[in-house]
Amino acid sequence: MLCSKRFFRNFSSKPKLPECSFKPNKYQGLSVEEMDNIRKTNLNPALSIYYNEPFAVHQGYKQWLFDLKGKRYLDMFGGICTVSVGHCHPKITEAVTEQMKMLGHCSNVYYNEKIHQYASKLADKLPGKLKVIYFVNSGSEANDLAVLLARSFTGNSNVISLKNCYHGMTYQTMALTSNSHYKYPVPQNPGFSNVMNPDVYRGLWGGNKCRDSPVQTYRQCSCEGVCEAGEKYMEQFQEELNYNIPTNGLAAFFAESIQGVGGTVQFPKNYIKDVYSLIKNSGGLFVADEVQTGFGRTGDHFWGFEGHDIEPDIVTMAKGIGNGYPLAAVATTQEIAKSLTKAVHFNTFGGNPIGTTVGSTVLDIIEEEKLQENSKNIGTKLLLKLAQLREEFEIVGDVRGKGLMIGVEFVMDKESRRPLSPEKILKLWETCRDLGLIVGKGGYYGNVFRVKPPMCVTEEDADFTVNVLRYALYSL
């Protein structure tokens, strides 16, 4: 079912973690049993728990995590694509410590150097007229605010997003998100609709010339110059406008540059650019959700939308913006921002001195340590090495992504593309954890391993990741 045994002759011994000189502090806190009881009694009962046995984390350093017993793990998920420059980066720790000594909180109704300094620095990273920054606390809140901006500016209420997308879990963004796992059985907010997801691997159309990625899907296509799959998906989008959106009644279209929670799904080349033109001709705004793709992670560009050759009207960002600190932002133009002066807009913690100090330091580290370049170099090598697993194993259906935003999709067999069973996915996942590798899981069926590590990972880390996955697949 998996592959010929000749591929496994060199994998009789377990892969060894790359060397690390860092020594974690001895853990002296609550036991796992005590934390488990508190979680069951005092925490949100809907919280997901990864793995059969809870993964209790004590300390982090760069790309490493340490459990309560001091065992080391390579974190190739980065706290759900959130730790951008590395766990407990000393430069961030020092900057925050110094700021805490000076001023921990200052409402943005007062002037403080940090919010102004960071707003200017972040705006310099954005193209064109995207120079007005709103600071908030999470990606969900950022997308919620973007909906308000789009509706206020256009005077329209209809918002479109792609099926399989994830844009948050506030009551409003629950309707924007298109995945039943994140929808409660309550009336959804009105004015939201979803169009067919242009997934060139699992969708109706796609082939081996469609993606902007070092690795293409196995599906064959005869495209020359123009992506036929992209045109087909565009026809579906046009149908949505024709039949479900009032003439000149579109407020906005939301899209991730590469779908994150949905399983690192990449769209056909030029699809986003062509949709952008449709949206503008329909009087709507284009909102780029950069919560996972932003800040250099895709390698070629600082922002994922730059890979689609567009300039959005609104950009939302979170996760990597604060390296794990609860910080998020919305960027837009002066013209659009003025539409939100019809009433008072205020956020108590948005742009507070600690948060903006973290955000500013993250930008410095990305530049100083050339982490965007590292994402491109290490990510490309990792993608190509993961693609070798697809050649070796029948159940590795697809490998995709750019930079250090990577997905590996597991299937029953390549021909049917039926998702691998949850039991086998869990066994693969657990084996990886046992061997010291932490990866995420996504896609509607939960059959996609999400590889989105801190951008400081090395080639040794990439090799270890591939070797562990190969060993886990062999052990299945």
> CA nearest 274: which of 290, 261, 255, 289?
255
CA distance 314 to 319: 17
Q: Is the pLDDT score of 189 beyond 70?
A: yes
What confidence tier does 7 reach under pLDDT thresholds 50, 70, 90?
very low
CA distance 373 to 388: 23
> CA nearest 382: which of 302, 464, 303?
464
What confidence tier does 9 reach under pLDDT thresholds 50, 70, 90?
very low
- Angle, helix 422-434 to helix 459-475, in steps of 10 degrees: 130
Q: Is the pLDDT score of 88 beyond 50?
A: yes
216 Cα distance to chain centroid? 20
pLDDT in tens, 206-226: 999 999 999 999 998 877 777
Question: What topology does CATH give the domain 91-368?
Answer: Aspartate Aminotransferase; domain 2 (3.40.640)
**Segments in 396-451 forming alpha helices (H):** 422-434
Q: Looking at the DSSP assignment, which residues form a beta bridge with residue 33?
A: none
Q: Is the pLDDT score of 10 beyond 70?
A: no
Report in angstroms the alpha-carbon separations of 132 from 123, 309, 313, 321, 327: 7, 21, 11, 16, 16
How many CB atoms neighbour CB 153 within 10 A? Answer: 22
pLDDT in tens, 245-291: 999 899 999 999 999 999 999 999 999 999 999 999 999 999 999 99
Predicted structure pTM score: 0.96
pLDDT of res. 12? 60
pLDDT in tens, 356-386: 999 999 999 999 999 999 999 999 999 999 9
> CA nearest 72: which of 339, 329, 437?
437
**Segments in 316-440 forming alpha helices (H):** 334-338, 353-368, 371-392, 422-434
pLDDT of res. 4? 43
pLDDT of res. 5? 44
Q: Round the average pLDDT of the chain to a whole number and report it.
A: 95
The residue extents of the domains of the chain are: 91-368
CA distance 79 to 117: 27
pLDDT of res. 101? 97
pLDDT of res. 220? 87
Q: Give the total residue count for the chain.
A: 476
What confidence tier does 11 reach under pLDDT thresholds 50, 70, 90?
low
**What is the 8-class DSSP label of residue 346?**
-
